[in-house]
């Protein structure tokens, strides 16, 4: 029985990708509605009046907003759909998983945006910051197969969508991620072997083209 689940989506959004991955991991059926972000639907404006952004998960008519909050909600409501819980049950391990997911939001997203979106000194500074950030993440990963340990977990879901930015970051920033962070790249390949991930992520080159269009639009203003 369909649980009346609708995802207000945008194919290229790394935040929406997180939700698609979580739903796929749990094998949950849902209706995906692609939003036109230059012409937001009245449903989006009604369901997320505070930020007017995607992703929004609408479950039995009630909205949940903010990607990490949505992923946690999915993990709590559907624990039975999979032997895997995305979040650990131990309070300390859970806090650690949330810390690193929050790190992705606070560090990777803002510095990444400036690497593909800015130029000159701002871009150079962002590139240095980004490489440092990726190395910090690599440090946290260590020798584990996933950030979640033996199993794919919350931090993995939070970070892997930014893999779709790699081509754009390397091209715009003129650096090689595999040279700087080989272990992290190995982790991305491991994640991409999961159907939940490979089916939820757009192609890197298409994302690059999309981001360059965005950059041009912004510069034109």
Partner 1 sequence: MEDEVVLLDFWPSSFAMRVKIALGEKGIKYECKQEDLFNKSPLLLQMNPIHQKIPVLIHNGNPISESLIILQYIDKVWNHKSPLLPSDPYRRSQSVFWADYIDKKMYGIVRRIWMGKEDQEEAKEELMQCLKTLEGELGDKLYFGGESIGLVDVALVPFTTWFYTCERCGDFSIEAGCPKLVAWAKRCKENYQSVSDALPHPHQIYDYVLQLKKKLELA
Residues binding partner 1 (CB under 8 A)? 50, 59, 62, 64-66, 69-70, 72-73, 76-77, 91-92, 94-95, 98-99, 102-103, 136
Lookup: tokens for 21: 């991955």
Query: Which residue, 124 or 136, has its beta carbon nearer to partner 1?
Result: 136
Q: For residue 138, how far is the Cα from the chain centroid? A: 17
User: Which residues are paired to 32 by β-bridges?
Assistant: 7
Minimum distance of partner 1 from residue 2's CB (angstroms)? 18
Q: Within 13 Å, how many C-alpha atoms sit on residue 116's CB side?
A: 24
Lookup: tokens for 92: 């300390």
Lookup: tokens for 87: 């979040």
- Is residue 168 packed enough to be buried (19+ CB in 10 Å), middle (13-18) or exposed (0-12)? buried
Query: Which residue, 102 or 213, has its beta carbon nearer to partner 1?
Result: 102
Minimum distance of partner 1 from residue 11's CB (angstroms)? 24
Minimum distance of partner 1 from residue 78's CB (angstroms)? 10
Lookup: tokens for 94: 């859970």
**Cα separation, 175 vs 111, whole angstroms:** 14
Minimum distance of partner 1 from residue 52's CB (angstroms)? 13
Query: Which residue, 88 or 116, has its beta carbon nearer to partner 1?
Result: 88
Minimum distance of partner 1 from residue 68's CB (angstroms)? 9
Query: Which residue, 74 or 211, has its beta carbon nearer to partner 1?
Result: 74
Q: CB count, 10 Å around CB of 97? A: 24
Query: Which residue, 95 or 178, has its beta carbon nearer to partner 1?
Result: 95
**Phi and psi angles of residue 173, each rounded to the nearest 5 degrees, phi first:** -90, -10
């Amino acid at each position: 029985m369909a649980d009346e689940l609708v995802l207000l989506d945008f194919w290229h959004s790394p935040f929406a990708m997180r939700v698609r991955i979580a739903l796929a991991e749990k094998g949950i059926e849902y209706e995906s509605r692609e939003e036109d972000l230059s012409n937001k639907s009245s449903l989006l404006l009604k369901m997320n009046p505070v930020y007017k952004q995607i992703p929004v998960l609408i479950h039995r008519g009630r909205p949940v907003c903010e990607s990490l909050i949505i992923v946690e909600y999915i993990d709590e409501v559907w624990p039975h759909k999979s032997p895997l819980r995305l979040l650990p049950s131990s309070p300390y391990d859970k806090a650690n998983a949330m810390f690193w997911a929050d790190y992705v939001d606070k560090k990777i997203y803002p510095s990444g945006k400036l690497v593909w979106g800015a130029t000159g000194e701002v871009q150079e500074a962002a590139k240095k910051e980004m490489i440092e950030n990726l190395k910090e993440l690599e440090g946290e990963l260590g020798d584990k197969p996933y950030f979640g340990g033996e199993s794919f977990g919350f931090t993995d879901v939070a970070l892997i969508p930014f893999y779709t930015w790699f081509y754009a970051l390397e091209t715009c920033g003129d650096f090689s991620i595999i040279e700087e962070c080989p272990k992290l790249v190995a982790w991305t390949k491991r994640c991409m072997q999961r159907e939940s991930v490979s089916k939820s992520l757009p192609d890197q080159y298409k994302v690059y083209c999309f981001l360059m269009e965005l950059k041009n639009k912004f510069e034109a203003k």
